[in-house]
Amino acid sequence: MKNGERTKNGKGKRQANFELLRIISMFMVVSLHYLSHADALTVPGTEADGTQIFGDFLESLSICAVNVYVLITGYFQSQSDFHPRKLIRLLAEILFYTLLIPPVLMAFGIHPEAQNVWERWFWFFPVSMESYWFITAYVFLFILSPLLNEGLRALPEKRMREVLLLLLFFYTVLPSLSPVKLTTDRGGYDFGWFIVLYLLSGYMRRYGAGRLDSARSGAVLYFASAAGVFALTALLHRISEGGRLLYYASVPFHYNSFLVLTASVGLFLWTKNTKVKEGRGADFIRALSPLTLGVYLIHENIDVRDRWLPALEKVFGGVPDGGLLLLHMLLCCTALFACCLAVDFVREKMFSLAARIFRRGKKNAVISGK
- Is residue 250 scored above 90 in pLDDT? yes
Query: What b/e sequence results for 228-252 when a residue is b if at least 16 CB atoms lie within 10 Å of its CB, and e otherwise?
Result: bbbebbbebbeebbeeebeebbbbb
Coil/strand/helix, residue 8? strand
pLDDT band at 4 (very low <50, low <70, confident <90, very high): very low
Own/partner contacts of 80-88, CB < 8 Å, gap of 24 or more, are: 80/4, 80/5, 80/6, 82/145, 82/146, 82/149, 86/3, 86/4, 86/142, 87/3, 87/4, 87/139, 87/142, 87/143
Nearest to 173 by CA among 240, 68, 259: 259
For a pLDDT cut of 90, what percent of the chain falls above it?
A: 84
- This prediction has a pTM of 0.92
- Is residue 6 scored above 90 in pLDDT? no
Overall average pLDDT of the 125-146 stretch: 95
- Is residue 361 scored above 90 in pLDDT? no
Q: Please tell me which residue, 81 or 122, carries the higher pLDDT value.
A: 122
pLDDT band at 116 (very low <50, low <70, confident <90, very high): confident
- Cα distance between residue 218 and residue 211, in whole Å: 10
60, 65, 66, 68 alpha-carbon torsion, rounded to 10° = 120
DSSP code per residue over 238-292 = HHHTTT-STTGGGGGGSTTSHHHHHHHHHHHHHHHT-PPPSSHHHHHHHHHGGGH
How do residues 205-231 score in pLDDT, each as one tens digit? 999 999 999 999 999 999 999 999 999
Which amino acid, 267?
L
Kindly state the DSSP code that residue 210 receives in the 8-state scheme. G
Please provide the size of the chain in residues.
Answer: 370
How do residues 15-28 score in pLDDT, each as one tens digit? 999 999 999 999 99
pLDDT of res. 115 = 83
Q: Please tell me which residue, 152 or 370, carries the higher pLDDT value.
A: 152
Cβ neighbours for 279, distance < 8 A, ≥ 6 positions apart: none
